[in-house]
Amino acid sequence: MAGNTMRAVQYDSYGGGATGLKHVEIPIPSPKKGQVLLKVEAAALNPVDLKIQNGVARPFLPSKFPFVPVTDVAGEVVEVGPGVNTLIPGDKVVSMVTYMKGGGLAEYAIAAEASTVTRPPEVSPAEGAGLPIAALTALQALRTSGIKLDGTSKSANILITAASGGVGTYTVQLAKFAGSHVTATCGARNIELVKSLGADEVLDYKTPEGASLNSPSGKKYDSVIHCTTGISWSIFEPNLNANAKVVDLSPSPWTIISSTLKKLFFPKKQLVPFLSYAIKEDMEFLVELVKEGKLKTLVDSKHPLSKAEDAWAKMMDGHATGKIIIEI
């Protein structure tokens, strides 16, 4: 496809938010060794996309400007590079492209074979695109907290904060799949939704009970998947069992320092900074759960590529219920 162009959305500098996005025509890239070229059908936005635009990883990310953002995509393989053995043109797939190169907000994107899995017809492009960062984070965070999803996990009491967000909606479902008792927090408008995903107890985070994180049934938590920010250890600690883990999905430098201090003063109760990473086997597991109807991608809204800035603005608002999808 060399010499052809494609529609894409990019930004030229740090900051700028939705107004910093520009609609452009750029060359279609060519896959190199171990890579595939995808015709993108859907892309999912994640908070990390906004963080990269705002420069939290400068000067490392983006690798250069102009930059086409977004990592989570679903589409069709149209060309394979040298050494690709598991994918062929025509395969429907889900993929996570690299943070360094980005490329998801375009008609075509380059992805590594190692981070691309086939997508059965039972899984729509929107359902598949929602999985890579958000569902991988949910799955791996639960494992980090001690929850197993292979049928061998003991029943645990787990708290999930911000349970109506992209990561939270997957975490609730996966925790219930593992047989856990789930207490969740969210805004009042999403309480029934979060219950429908499997939560046993739901707290409105704006109420005194929700702010204190007290389980309505009086249970102490064996683990916490902390999907938001702004909750101190002093709030978590009284609600934890003796060997509980609080897995922090948005760790700051202070979280890492605090984690070390907690080991000194609370040697059994742990604050665990967490970052997810792409593992092909985990992606395949999640796609299979969606295929079997055991996991849902909750879609907040869908937007065409021509309205990408609307989707970006909605992400910036911070109150999406589930995933924001761009259809291409």
Section 47-74 average pLDDT: 94
Which residue matches tokens 């529609």?
7
CA distance 148 to 142: 7
Q: Which domains does the chain have, with CATH numbers?
A: 5-130+297-327 (3.90.180.10), 133-273 (3.40.50.720)
Interval 147-206: pLDDT, tens: 999 878 788 999 999 999 999 999 999 999 999 999 999 999 999 999 999 999 999 999
Q: How far is CA 190 from CA 60, 299, 301, in A?
A: 37, 14, 15
Interval 214-260: pLDDT, tens: 999 999 999 999 999 888 888 999 999 999 999 999 865 554 545 45
- 60 exposed, middle or buried (CB, 10 Å; 0-12, 13-18, 19+)? exposed
- 18 exposed, middle or buried (CB, 10 Å; 0-12, 13-18, 19+)? middle
What pLDDT does residue 276 have?
Answer: 79
pTM of the model: 0.93
Q: Are 23 and 7 in contact (CB under 8 A)?
A: yes
Q: Is the dihedral of CA 50, 190, 252, 177 positive or negative?
A: negative
Interval 99-158: pLDDT, tens: 989 999 999 999 999 999 999 999 999 999 999 999 999 999 999 999 999 878 788 999
Q: Where is pLDDT greater, at 103 or 273?
A: 103
* DSSP string covering 197-240: TT-SEEEETTSHHHHHT--TT-PPEEEEEE-SS---HHHHGGGE
CA distance 21 to 190: 30
Band the pLDDT of 48: cuts 50, 70, 90. very high
What pLDDT does residue 262 have?
Answer: 53
Interval 72-92: pLDDT, tens: 999 999 999 999 999 999 999
CA distance 282 to 131: 10
What pLDDT does residue 2 have?
Answer: 56
Lowest mean pLDDT among 5-19, 263-277, 287-301: 263-277
**CA 287, 306, 76: angle at the middle one, nearest 5?**
35
18: closest CA among 326, 316, 318?
Answer: 316
- Describe the chain by its helix, strand, coil percentages, rounded to 5: 30, 30, 40
204: closest CA among 212, 223, 155, 277?
Answer: 212
Section 37-48 average pLDDT: 97
User: Does residue 270 carry a pLDDT above 70?
Assistant: yes
What pLDDT does residue 3 have?
Answer: 64
